[in-house]
Structure 1
Amino acid sequence: MGNSIKSAEFLMEARRSRMGYGSAEECFELGVAYSCGAGDLPIDFIEAHKWFNLAASRGSEAGQAMRAEIAEEMTAREIAEAQRAARALIIASQPRAA
Structure 2
Amino acid sequence: MARFDFQGIGSATAGGSAQTDVLLQLGMMYATGRDCDMDLVAAHKWLNIAAIKGSERAAEMRSELAATMSKADIARALREAREWMTMQ
Give the TM-score normalised by the residue count of structure 2. 0.83
The residue identity in structure 2 corresponding to 1:37 is: G
Hey, what does 1:25 align to over in structure 2?
Answer: 21
Change (3 A) 1:35 1:19: farther
Q: 1:65 aligned to 42, 50, 60, which one?
A: 60
Residues 40-51 of structure 1 mapped to structure 2, 5 A cutoff = 41-51=36-46
Hey, what does 2:71 align to over in structure 1?
Answer: 76
Please identify the structure whose Cα radius of gyration is greater. 1
Give unmatched runs, 5+ long, in structure 2. Answer: 13-18
- Secondary structure of the equivalent of 1:80? helix
Matched, 1:90 2:85: yes
The structure with more helix, counted as a fraction of residues: 1
Distance 1:17 1:63 in 2: 18
Change (3 A) 1:34 1:16: farther
Matched pairs, number: 81
Hey, what does 1:55 align to over in structure 2?
Answer: 50
- Secondary structure of the equivalent of 1:38? coil
Distance 1:24 1:74 in 2: 23
Q: CA deviation at 1:16?
A: 5.4
Distance 2:43 2:87 in 1: 19
Identity %, equivalent residues: 32
Q: Which 4+ stretches in 1 moved above 6 angstroms?
A: none
The residue identity in structure 1 corresponding to 2:30 is: Y
Distance 2:21 2:6 in 1: 16
Change (3 A) 1:25 1:17: closer
Distance 2:9 2:30 in 1: 17
